[in-house]
Amino acid sequence: MNFLHKYIPEPIIFSLGPIEIHWYGLLMVLGGLAGLFFVRKLFQLYRLKEKDLTDLVLVWVLFALIGARIYYVIYAWDYYRENLIDIIKVWEGGLAVHGVMLGVFGATYWFCRWRKINFWLMADIAAVGLAGAQIIGRWGNYFNQEIFGKPTDLSWGIPIEMKFRPSQFREQNYFHPTVLYESLLSAVNFIILWAAHQWRVKRNKYLPEGVIFAVYIFIYSVIRFGLEYYRVDYSPMVFGLRWAQLLSIWLAMAAIIFVMYLYKKKK
């Protein structure tokens, strides 16, 4: 924690002539690989075809990137309509988690329809991959000095350079490390989801297909709703709530209703 309090992150790891290697991109890749590792383990647990995973990963990556970027551009359209060229600069940040979720959900649905695979089981598996990827991938925002929290005097507060601080916080030096909070809470989410899969298969306990995915949506929505109170980056406000908070309420309610539907359907 003391390291975070003293270290000022830089977005670029190193340069090779005109080519710059960014922490953001590297950590996104590492997060994706971590998520894929656990998805592969679940494919083995459920004895699913390895070929389906290979093909699905390509679809996931494409849809996740497109969904994440489109969502963020729409979210911050006031900026991008004046800076259209910046839409393609994904290495500078701007990949929304909610967009990733929508992209992966859509990709999974399309792929399962095409290959005639159980969609909700695949969604349950994808949820673990998403949670695992978030543990690592979120740290890309830390190195870009973005989505940090409000000023704090706590010993684990992180320093933010003046050029990245909102104007009202020019005099403050340390801010809540919301990336750290989200990473730790995502790890808790991941452990719960992973345990649910093991419980379902190894102990032969009944869990309707789709429940684990719904649990992921619910837990992440609760996490995101709470963390939004700390964040100081721009957000549209609706009924006094940040946009991500309002969306989190909708998603959490949808997850609860879906779980109730699945168990009622069983009866």
Residue 78 to residue 76: CA distance in whole angstroms: 6
Give the count of beta carbons closer than 10 Å to the beta carbon of residue 263. Answer: 11
| Burial class of 86 by CB neighbour count within 10 A (0 to 12, 13 to 18, 19+) | middle
Residue 61 to residue 100: CA distance in whole angstroms: 9
Instruction: State the DSSP string of 184-251.
Output: HHHHHHHHHHHHHHHHHHHS-----TTHHHHHHHHHHHHHHHHHTTTB-S---EETTEEHHHHHHHHH
Residue 251 to residue 221: CA distance in whole angstroms: 7
CA atoms within 13 A on the CB side of 97: 28
CB 187 within 8 A of CB 143: no
| Residue linked to tokens 């695949």 | 122
Three-state DSSP state, 130: helix
Residue 9 to residue 23: CA distance in whole angstroms: 10
**Neighbour-count burial for 221-249, b at 16+ CB within 10 Å, e otherwise:** bbbbbebbebbbeebeeeeebbebbbbbe
Residue 238 to residue 173: CA distance in whole angstroms: 30
| pLDDT values of the chain reduced to their tens digit, one per residue, 267 residues | 567 888 888 888 988 878 888 898 899 999 999 999 999 999 999 999 888 898 888 888 888 888 888 888 888 887 888 888 888 877 666 778 888 888 888 989 999 999 899 999 999 999 999 999 999 999 999 999 999 999 999 999 999 999 999 989 998 999 999 999 999 999 999 999 999 999 999 887 788 999 999 999 999 999 999 999 999 988 888 999 999 999 999 999 999 999 999 988 765
pTM of the complete model: 0.90
